[in-house]
């Protein structure tokens, strides 16, 4: 079998950070599912901060601290 792992992340992380994530996830998936690392597939989908919302408030609005902020208020 070929495990496929997907991440939905906000843009802004460095290439090095994403490489480290993929390396460590590959190692863990390979070990836990007992498959060779060559079979593990990882997809990273990056979103802009206004392409994601919680309760109708975009992440961009949350970062700006608008009254509709649903995180921490």
pLDDT digits (tens, 9 = 90+) for 21-67: 999 999 999 999 999 999 999 999 999 999 999 999 999 898 888 65
Q: Does residue 45 contact residue 8 with C-beta atoms inside 8 Å?
A: yes
Q: What is the pLDDT of residue 65?
A: 85
Task: Work out whether strand 4-10 and strand 41-47 pair parallel, antiparallel, or are unpaired.
Answer: parallel
Residues 54, 40: Cα–Cα separation, whole Å: 31
Residues 73, 51: Cα–Cα separation, whole Å: 21
Can you give the pTM of this predicted structure? 0.78
Residues in the chain: 73
The residues annotated as belonging to the active site are 3
Residues 32, 23: Cα–Cα separation, whole Å: 14
């Amino acid at each position: 079998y070929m495990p496929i792992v997907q991440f939905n992340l906000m843009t802004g992380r460095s290439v090095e950070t994403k490489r480290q994530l993929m390396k460590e996830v590959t190692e863990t998936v390979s070990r836990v599912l007992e498959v060779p690392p060559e079979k593990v597939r990882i997809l990273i989908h990056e979103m802009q901060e206004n392409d994601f919302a919680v309760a109708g408030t975009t992440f961009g609005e949350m970062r700006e601290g608008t009254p509709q902020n649903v995180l921490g208020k």
